[in-house]
Structure 1
């Protein structure tokens, strides 16, 4: 009986899904990212509660806050170590984007900006972790390296947001064109052409949902470096919530990917 339960658990769809997710480095990174930002959100809520009470917080509350802060820092450091050296990959992608030809010129330039920004972000991030966590590099001004990383990340996300918005606009135009063609075909009573329009409408709708999702994710993510650079006085709770939501979105993408 016990062995049958164990066998059923080992062969269940939940176990298969977990193995598929945990076997990917990006999956583990998203899990750590969610833990990091969710702990940051909880720390913000605890701090806000203390400030609203106006009195001396209890020792248990301070211990809880210290634990959340430690989790946040540990997850951040873990993620930085896992992605150290990844700037080489983005450097290769950036160089490749320089030699791409054909296609939409705006999308090509935005893709180039995204890859270049991620290269700067990952390079500065790797240098920072070599200094702070490993002690292999000594930096005179670590805060400056952090600002460089934030600027690179902000530029990459800005290009990603603009590219997603540009694709969404093109899909909306395409959607309007297909609807106009279909109205014309309905007058001519052409069933074959009408079926082709249905297929095209479904394809455009699918791509449109994906583009909307990319716009939302990039818009939320860009709030993190924006707050880090002090460009806008964004609420700490909003930034932590944005990071938590986009982490869940990334986890969902990995789980439902082919």
Structure 2
């Protein structure tokens, strides 16, 4: 290895020395909703490059949680981009949609713990209740629903009984948090849309912040490397994994500048 290392490789080397993980596992997790661009190329080079440098492996995972914008032609284009840059992903291409059943079970677990609830505020009301950078938000009256009611509503959301936007599932965290992303973030929303892989099996789809950290955990990712725009999202990433007690071992997010 070159003696002049970037900060990400320094973190990885420290984790290896501390025997934090058995293997370095990274992932490249694009949304298949457009053709590859220079930002994808940088992420590919970093994630696959670090895995290669430390004898680990990198997964290619399509973050396919928004069926209204995704298409198999984008999946193929992203696969081509990885190969064109000279890298090879571990095993088969992975998809967040592979994990929809597990993500749903984890959501029910959060409800049983009193850490998530079905909210019926409108999109405008949710925005209004969130507060501002200088003013705390206020929690929805629907946050007081019982565990049984929340589980029932979530099941009915999944089964397609409600219209888009009628309900959402939210985490129950802190409506006065300085990081506004922690003010009871959305975990699931209703989408009556045909998914290019799961068809019409699901009427609810996980939000990025919820699906991403759990997909990393399920795949045994050690280092979740993101662009700097996701720095504030790291608190949700940690909250979901820590609250569910998924600690052995668990991934950590690290950000790099675009």
Same fold (TM over 0.5): no
Structure holding more helix per residue? 1
In our comparison, the structure showing a higher alpha carbon Rg is: 1
Which TM-score applies when normalising by structure 2? 0.30
Which TM-score applies when normalising by structure 1? 0.30
Structure holding more strand per residue? 2
